[in-house]
Chain A
Amino acid sequence: MDALLQFLLSGVTVGAVYALVALGFTIIYNASDVVNFAQGEFVMLGGMITVFTYQAGLPLPLAAVLAIAITSLVGVALNKLALEPARGAPVVSLIIITIGASIFIRGAAQLIFDKQLHRFPSFSGDQPIHILGATLVPQSLWVIGGAVLVFIGLWLFFTKTLTGKAVLATANNRLAAQLVGINTGWIMTLSFALSAAIGALAGVLVTPITLVGYDVGVGLALKGFAAAMLGGMGNPKGALVGGIALGLLEALTAGYLSSQYKDAVAFIVILAVLFVMPQGLFGKSTTERV
């Protein structure tokens, strides 16, 4: 029983990170129909920039805010310089552009920073919290809390604010949105900035637990992508549930079956879900237009 609780707690922590990456995917997908494979690099940048500005003497909160701000700019640049010029290209081309961007950002990070693994201190100490025989590091609460707050924030943004509704309108039909006076170019900039910021936040929150290096992005992007697919692409609720479910699956597999195959089981379950529900758990079915 203690073991089960322990696995559940660590699963939710990892799942919260996947959920944050998946939420980032969702925002960009909603606004522009692009699956951004460079999403994992935003997480890496968030962690790495915080590490290096903190080592340069900046206080940790300031370093984190700076990292999130810089990563947002990288997100905006990605859209303006790489995706906007290729508007209307087929899915394969867009996948290659964002994978190219991800390789580029990784190469740049390797030159600007270094190839070592880094961490900075946890936000509220490393004294483990004991819950019913299981233990939890305080930083886990920051990660889980961060994911929940971001989800609630996004939900309020998309349902209660005019700007949020403008993003949804742009996603639905770009031309129609323009016709009713929405500045779709600005909406796109906003979406990429927001998505990159959420990715960077995930990096800042999780670095004290998992460490950060220039190449952590690929794995996170794959898991976040899988989580978003599991929940149904483009649905924030799906991203949250998909992320947590994936984290739990991995933790339970690692605990009870085999730690080597924890990633395998995650992908098997995703394949199974896609076979039964080709649109993911919460996705809407669509009809192809001729």
Chain B
Amino acid sequence: MKLSSKWVQLAALAVLVAVLPLFFPSGYYYRVGALIFVNGLAVTGLVILIGYAGQISLGHAGFAGIGGYACALAPEHLGLPPSLSILLGAAISALLAVLIGKPILRLRGYYLAVATLGFGILVSMVLTNERALTGGPDGMAVQGLALRKILRGWGWRLSSGEFWYVMSALAMLLGVWIALNLFQSATGRAMRALHGSEVAARTVGIDVARLKLQAFVISAVYASVSGSLLALQNKFVTPDIAGFMHSIELVTMAVLGGVGSVVGAVTGGAILTLLPQVLTVFAEYEQLVLGLVMILVMIFLPRGLLPSIAAKMKGRGE
């Protein structure tokens, strides 16, 4: 990739995030923007797992569910402020990722896919069935973040949409920065070696099992924080957040944009978040179009939207 310098990518994203609101015709667009960033954060985590380390997960929405429900349950039952609940959710997700990752990550390809899928379904099933605690399929309310009140005290009167636009954008940029750093680090290089060939990576002395687990745990934390932010800004959370379709959406976003590159994957996330908003006019055809887009991109731009386009432009320039 030509635009490979870490800072160029990060700066491009930051400028985009800062400039976009100038063109927003209404407050509603802040909500859509915040949603894009929240998805972008989860998708960046998947880039580390799928794009760097080459392991698949069809159950990452399970971690998003844990993050989301941590923000709903911890303030109510443990008296924890929502901001600390995000950390609690992330810690639980990381712990769970270690526990299930150890046995699961020995599996490969489709077997790993079904094992992670099973995990995701188990989480969403618990959230749906434990009505007494989680409110069942109807979901439950989530407290707001105290930070917004504090900011108001300082004279910064942000609407809910604006506040979450900024918060989600910061969270995503932080996530992207960490992912880009990881890419260039020794750990990141080892992960990519593992992606290339597990046997070869092991031969040159890479602790394959440990590395896979690291990638899995890191991406689980990303998904968990993304789920927390989603629950906090919606002020509501339902078991759908942990559902199979959400897992599929996240993986599709990552692969659609280009799972090898963070910026590409975030772009994919933006497109798939925007698509339903655009298609509300043709609500009847939404599924038809979504399915078609998934198939066509994978056939004609197999490396994902952004890397394929970048490669084409590079080819033309030479």
B-contacting residues of A (Cβ < 8 Å)?
35, 82, 85-86, 89, 91-97, 99-108, 110-111, 218, 222, 225-226, 229, 233, 260-261, 263-264, 267-268, 270-271, 274-275, 278-280, 288, 290
Contact = CB atoms under 8 A, between A and B. Distances in A.
Contacts of A107: 285-291
B147 interface: no
Given A86-B302, A103-B294, A274 B111 contact: yes
Nearest to B107: A278
Given A86-B302, A226-B118, A270-B118, A95 B295 contact: no
Interface string B271-307: 0000000000000111111111111001100100000
Nearest to A233: B110
A91 B298 contact: no
Given A264-B126, A274-B111, 15 more contacts: A35-B110, A86-B298, A95-B113, A96-B294, A100-B295, A103-B287, A104-B290, A106-B291, A260-B129, A261-B129, A264-B121, A271-B104, A271-B119, A288-B198, A290-B197
Nearest to A286: B108
B96 interface: no
Contact of B121 (A93, A101, A263): A263
Q: How large is the interface on B (under 10, 10 to 19, 20 to 34, 35 or more residues)?
A: 35 or more
Contacts of B113: 35, 91, 95
A97 B288 contact: no
B210 interface: no
B93 to A, nearest CB: 18
A261 B107 CA distance: 25
Closest 3 CB pairs of A and B: A104-B291, A100-B294, A107-B287
Given A92-B251, A261-B125, A103 B290 contact: yes
B79 interface: no
A233 to B, nearest CB: 6
B259 A92 contact: yes
Interface of B: 50, 56, 58, 103-104, 106-111, 113-115, 117-119, 121-122, 125-126, 129, 197-200, 244, 248, 251-252, 255-256, 259, 284-295, 298-299, 302
Given A99-B252, A111-B285, A263-B121, A271 B295 contact: no
A260 B294 CA distance: 33
B291 A103 contact: yes
A82 B107 contact: no
A231 to B, nearest CB: 12
B299 A86 contact: yes
Contacts of B287: 103-104, 106-107, 110
Contacts of B256: 96
